[in-house]
A = this chain, B = another copy of it.
Amino acid sequence: MMKPAQVVKALSALAQPTRLAIFRLLVVSGADGLAAGEIAGKLKVSPANMSFHFKALSHAGLVVSRQEGRFIYYAANFAVMNGMVDYLTENCCGGHDEACKPNAKKC
């Protein structure tokens, strides 16, 4: 169960075009993640700017990193992503979901 402040932090982290693109790449990439430079190359973002955005995503708990040689790999933290989604959709329509389209697919 996430606290509102954590959810706000996660939403803030994703509420920026570059960071949303980074996170989407990592979500699709799965548990192994991608090297920082690889992401920077794909998204054409400067290293300094990447670091700035990684810090925001890390601080929000949305990504985790591990060092491997000279490279740093980042991967999505699916627990936090799902916690954020749960917080948003929880108890929709007071529990009677007549107005809400159920959506089977979820990561």
State the majority secondary structure of interface residues on A: helix
Chain B residues near A45: list those with CB within 8 A.
Answer: none
Q: How far is the CB of A9 from chain B (nearest CB, A)?
A: 8
> A70 interface residue, CB < 8 Å from B?
no
- Compute how far the CA of A89 lies from the CA of B11 in the bound complex, rounded to whole angstroms: 14
Copies in the complex: 2
Q: How far is the CB of A22 from chain B (nearest CB, A)?
A: 12
- Please determine whether A86 and B101 come into contact, CB atoms closer than 8 angstroms: no
Measured as residues with beta carbon below 8 angstroms from the partner, the interface class of chain A is 35 or more
Tell me which of A16, A105, A107 has the highest count of chain B C-beta atoms within 10 A of its own C-beta: A107
Q: Which of B4, B8, B23, B106 contacts A106 (CB 8 A)?
A: B106
Chain B residues near A20: list those with CB within 8 A.
Answer: 4, 7-8, 11
Contact pattern, A 88-107, Cβ under 8 Å of B = 1, otherwise 0: 11111110111111111111
> A39 interface residue, CB < 8 Å from B?
no
A-B pairs with beta carbons under 8 Å apart, 30 shown: A4-B17, A7-B20, A8-B16, A8-B17, A11-B20, A14-B15, A23-B88, A24-B88, A27-B90, A29-B93, A29-B94, A30-B93, A30-B96, A30-B98, A30-B99, A31-B99, A78-B99, A79-B101, A81-B88, A82-B100, A85-B88, A85-B103, A86-B103, A89-B105, A89-B107, A92-B107, A93-B107, A101-B107, A102-B106, A104-B106
